[in-house]
């Protein structure tokens, strides 16, 4: 085993776009929403305005599909100067319901990795988003039994992780986080002296992107796939 991971007792996994597909469905929904509003603005402008509304609403609604739907409705009202018809509002609600009913598509190697690592480490799920939706996806995934603890966080900042590690009664040096978002899954852990492994996903929400300067000098690994984690820890 790599000596950097010798003290690891608990491994945390992000959920969306680390264990299963998620962001792809948001991109599809955004495209569908833009077409609904295309009589009022260009597709690019609609996308930009929706993102602005989402960011403005984060503090109120948090993350997840329900928050996304509320932001779509608000954007539709504003872009249409409050003239959008009820049929369009209903169509927006249908987009959200369709997202909530999506099957859970596991990423390559997920169950194999969890099965192997669960024999040696305590595994936890550390995700953010809507509690009901994340619980639904976890149940559909069939992965529940691999996790010792499941935490749905309101956000993923240093303070959130420090509180989680305190609850788990472990030191940062004993914790490894694995996820696809540098902003949410990697940098906060590095900053509190925990370990982190970045597994990029092909689609990233603009809010989760970070600059090169933010990652310079930060001690974390980037791997091509989740299965590569086994080579490091075994």
Long-range Cβ pairs for the range 216-219 (8 Å, 24+): 218/186, 218/187, 218/190, 219/190
The mean pLDDT of the chain is 90
At 130, the pLDDT band (50, 70, 90 cuts) reads: confident
**Do residues 115 and 90 make contact, with C-beta atoms less than 8 angstroms apart?**
no
Domains and CATH numbers, the chain: 3-20+104-233 (3.40.50.1000), 23-100 (1.10.150.240)
Residue 196's DSSP bridge partners are 177
Percentage, residues of the chain above pLDDT 70: 91
> pLDDT digits over 132-187, tens only?
888 999 999 999 999 999 998 878 889 999 999 999 999 999 999 999 999 889 99
**pLDDT for residue 38 is more than 70:** yes
Q: How is 108-132 classified by DSSP, letter by letter?
A: TTHHHHHHHHTTTSEEEEEEES-HH
> pLDDT digits over 54-110, tens only?
999 988 998 889 999 999 999 999 999 999 999 999 999 999 999 999 999 999 999
Tokens of 170: 């472990």
Question: Model pTM?
Answer: 0.87
Better-scored residue on pLDDT, 157 or 123:
123
């Amino acid at each position: 085993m790599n000596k950097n991971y010798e003290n690891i007792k608990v491994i945390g996994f992000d959920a969306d776009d680390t264990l299963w597909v998620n962001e792809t469905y948001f991109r599809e929904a955004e495209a569908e929403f833009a077409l609904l509003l295309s009589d009022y603005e260009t597709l690019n402008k609609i996308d930009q305005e929706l993102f602005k509304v989402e960011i403005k609403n984060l503090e109120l609604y948090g993350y997840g599909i329900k928050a996304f739907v509320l932001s779509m409705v608000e954007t539709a009202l504003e872009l249409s100067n409050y003239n959008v018809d009820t049929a369009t509002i209903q169509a927006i609600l249908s987009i959200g319901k369709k997202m909530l009913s999506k099957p859970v598509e596991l990423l390559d190697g997920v169950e194999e990795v969890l099965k192997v690592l669960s024999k040696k480490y305590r595994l936890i799920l550390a995700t953010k988003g809507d509690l009901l939706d994340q619980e639904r996806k976890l149940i559909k995934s069939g992965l529940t039994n691999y996790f010792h603890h499941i935490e749905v966080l309101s956000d993923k900042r240093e303070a959130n992780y420090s509180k989680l590690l305190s609850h788990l009664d472990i030191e940062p040096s004993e914790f490894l986080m694995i996820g696809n978002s540098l902003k949410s899954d990697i940098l906060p852990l590095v900053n509190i002296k925990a370990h982190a492994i970045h597994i990029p996903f092909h689609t990233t929400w603009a809010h989760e992107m970070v600059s090169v300067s933010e990652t310079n000098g930060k001690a974390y690994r980037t791997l091509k796939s989740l299965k590569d984690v086994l080579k490091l820890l075994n």
